[in-house]
Amino acid sequence: MENLMYMMMLKKDKTYNRITKKVITEHVENIRRMDDEGKLEICGVFKGYPGMAGMYILKAESREEAEEICNMEPLVIGGYATYQLVALQIANRENNYLL
């Protein structure tokens, strides 16, 4: 069975520079909730990549679940960002690094 995680890359929309403190607070609360629920592997902000806001590596049982998580992101809901969802096949010792 494939060991998959999902990478959500957040792209800044034209309205990103009008983001409010309220939305940022909701964004951080969403990150905490995902982490508490065991759905977040790692997240971060892209530095030096204009147009890109950041990314999440999600632990989801399916692409559909990952899509649901993405659509709950306050930056997406508010129209400040869009996202691209990519399946990431994990390479590690257990699967001999996909050899």
Domain count, the chain: 1
User: In the sheet where 4-12 sits, what is the strand order?
Assistant: 40-45, 52-58, 4-12, 81-89
pLDDT above 90: residue 74: yes
Question: Tell me, what's the pLDDT at 3?
Answer: 83
Q: What is the CATH number of the domain that holds 30?
A: 3.30.70.1060
* Domain that residue 33 falls in: 4-98
CA atoms of 39 and 17, how far apart (whole Å): 28
Q: What is the torsion angle, in degrees rounded to the nearest 10, for the CA atoms of residue 70, residue 16, residue 32 and residue 26? A: -100
CA–centroid distance for 22 within its chain: 19
Averaged pLDDT, 9-37: 97
CA–centroid distance for 50 within its chain: 18
How would residue 1 be classed by pLDDT, with cut points 50, 70 and 90?
low
pTM of the predicted model as reported, rounded to 2 decimal places: 0.90
